[in-house]
Amino acid sequence: MPDTGLVFFPAFDWAIEPTHPEREERLLYTRDQIFEEGVMDLPEIAELAPRLCLPHDIRRVHFCVPDVAAQTTEAHLIAAGAGMVLGDEIVAGRLKNGFALVRPPGHHAMRMVHGNRGFCNINNEAVVIEHLRRRHGIRRVAVVDTDVHHGDGTQDIFYHDPDVLFISFHQDGRTIYPGTGFAHELGGPTAFGRTLNIPLPPGTTDESMLFVLDNLILPVLADFRPELVVNSAGQDNHYSDPIGEMCITARGYATLTRRLAPQLAVLEGGYAVESALPYVNLGIILALAGLDFDRVREADYPRTFHEDPVRRPRLEKMVRDLLEMWRVKDRMDLSSIFGREEYFRQKKEVYYDTDGIEDRQTETVRVCRECPGYLAIDSRARHPDGRTVNVMALSVPLYACNQCRSLAYDGYAAARGENSLYHHIYLQDKSTDTFLSFDAAAKSESVSEG
Which residues are tagged catalytic? 108
d(CA 197, CA 181): 6
Asked if 375 and 139 touch (Cβ cutoff 8 Å), the reply is no
Q: How far apart are CA 182 and CA 49, in angstroms?
A: 38
Per-residue DSSP letter, 216: I
Buried b (16+ CB within 10 A) or exposed e, 415-429: bbeeeeebbbbbbbb
> Which residues have a Cβ under 8 Å from the Cβ of 5 and sit 6 or more positions away?
45, 46, 47, 48, 86, 89, 90, 95, 97, 98, 99
In order, the DSSP letters of 255-290 are HHHHHH--SEEEE-----TTTTHHHHHHHHHHHHTT
Is the peptide bond preceding residue 104 cis, with omega within 30 degrees of 0?
yes
**Distance, C-alpha 103 to centroid of its chain:** 14
Sign of CA dihedral 78, 197, 366, 421: negative
Helices then strands, counting H and E runs in the chain, come out as 13, 17
Tell me which residue of 226, 229, 246 sits closest to 238, measured CA to CA: 246
CA atoms within 13 A on the CB side of 274: 2
80 closest CA partner among 13, 30, 130, 155: 130
Helix (H) or strand (E) holding 212: helix 206-212
CA distance 29 to 32: 5
* 44/135 Cα distance (integer angstroms): 27
- List the 444-449 sheet strands across, edge first: 343-352, 357-366, 375-382, 388-396, 424-429, 434-439, 444-449
Report the DSSP beta bridge partners of residue 427: 394, 436
Confirm if 376 and 411 have CB atoms less than 8 A apart: yes
Cα–Cα distance for residue pair 178/181, rounded to 1 Å: 8
